[in-house]
Amino acid sequence: MTNGTSAPFRLVVTGGGTGGHTYPALTAVRTLRGRLAGQGRGLDALWIGTAEGLEARVAPAEGIAFTTVATGKIRRSANPLKMLGPANVKDMARVPLGVAQARAKIAEFAPDVVLATGGYVAVPAGLAARLCRRPLVLHEQTVRLGLANRKLAGSATRIAVSSESSLPLLPETVRGAAVVTGNPVRPEVLTGVADKAVAALGLNGFDRRLPTLYVTGGAQGAQQINTVVADALPWLLERANVVHQCGPAHVDVLRGAAASLPAERAGRYYLTGFVGPELPDLLALADVVVSRSGAGTLAELTALGKPAVFIPLATSAGNEQAHNARQLEQARAAVALEGEVTAQRLQDALGPLLTDPARRADMAQAARRHGRPDAAERLVDLLLEAARSAS
């Protein structure tokens, strides 16, 4: 362990594959670096990930040393026999090699603490942390522990969960290690300015007396969401301005669908394939959001207190998006649309929110109660506490 306030704090991060696992870890690293800098102390970080995952690009771009280990991706199935298929058996056989590789890297790096945020790459590194007797902090973004974190829960010093509702879902044997931190949100998301979005995107045809609806299906867009929004578009534009982030591959088709709109309504529709650095300002402008219900999206929208209609991705791992959406719907902080979603169902869900400011305000307040904008700071507290208790 490091001694003295001048010695750099040493952190191993493991997890990734997708943005849901990668960005919370990145936000935690940035927050920890800032906290330590305020104490006149540096941070030495090593990220153990996969060569194919998002983390392989994100970590080096952030100046974080990056390395890989052998991993085994488990292909899920409701049928236990299928779980023992040739691909899974082959990948499971790679896990011991990955653990050995991670053990050597962790022993050499000698971290003060290891942070695991999920994804199959976290399993070998998390198990290696235990073998090296280094404190392990898990962070779970979704309501229920993901597969990797379930495997590591018994080895963890602390388990950071994103919601109070996660606690009763944990195995009784590990509940004592659990702390509700929330899911880290990028600080810039919380500082948007609505008027900047209007200027940056040239939303001159918008009627600011009407609410603004932001529709997003994620970076690649979502065909399901795009289709029902296109079908409901004339109805929507009678009641709201609409910013529709549809994914680069879907722009032309949707532009064609909007071509027959009257000029006044067309001016209230802004279509874009991708939203970049203007996202915080766009979220500030939005009165209501229609989106998938991934953990990162929920964290951002609740931290901002945004009313939302969620259309969960039915094929998400462990059906986690549906669980996320239901959790907020039960708290009256969102509406969840599951199963077959039609334009009529979307209109029924959005109608009360677009036409009743008081209804929007109530849902916004409920969302805000669920949000944890200080989640990154709470997670950093946990990392520092785990390191201190082990020294």
pLDDT in tens, 42-90: 999 999 999 999 999 999 999 999 999 998 665 444 555 554 566 555 5
Cα gap 191→98, rounded to integer Å: 40
Strands (E), the chain: 9-14, 43-49, 65-68, 113-116, 136-140, 158-161, 178-180, 212-216, 241-245, 269-272, 288-291, 308-310, 335-336
Q: Say whether pLDDT at 29 is over 90.
A: yes
Closest CA to 120 of 50, 67, 170: 50
| Whole-number pLDDT of residue 75 | 47
| Whole-number pLDDT of residue 2 | 47
Percent of the residues in the chain that have a pLDDT greater than 90, as a whole number: 83
CA distances from 293 to 4, 131, 142, 192, 373 (A): 43, 36, 10, 21, 18
- For tokens 């998002």, name the residue: 54
Which pLDDT band, with edges at 50, 70 and 90, does 294 fall under?
A: very high
Cα gap 315→330, rounded to integer Å: 22
- Beta pairing partners, 212: 241
Q: What is the pLDDT of residues 91-142, one digit of tens each?
A: 656 689 999 999 999 999 999 999 999 999 999 999 999 999 999 999 999 8
Beta-carbon-side half-sphere exposure of residue 165 (alpha carbons within 13 Å):
15
Q: What is the pLDDT of residues 259-293, one digit of tens each?
A: 999 998 999 999 999 999 999 999 999 999 999 99
**DSSP letter string over 153-166?**
GGG-SEEEES-GGG
Q: What is the pLDDT of residues 299-354, one digit of tens each?
A: 999 999 999 999 999 887 778 899 999 999 999 999 999 999 999 999 999 999 99
The domains located in the chain, with CATH, are 9-185+373-390 (3.40.50.2000), 187-370 (3.40.50.2000)
Cα gap 206→209, rounded to integer Å: 9
| Whole-number pLDDT of residue 316 | 77
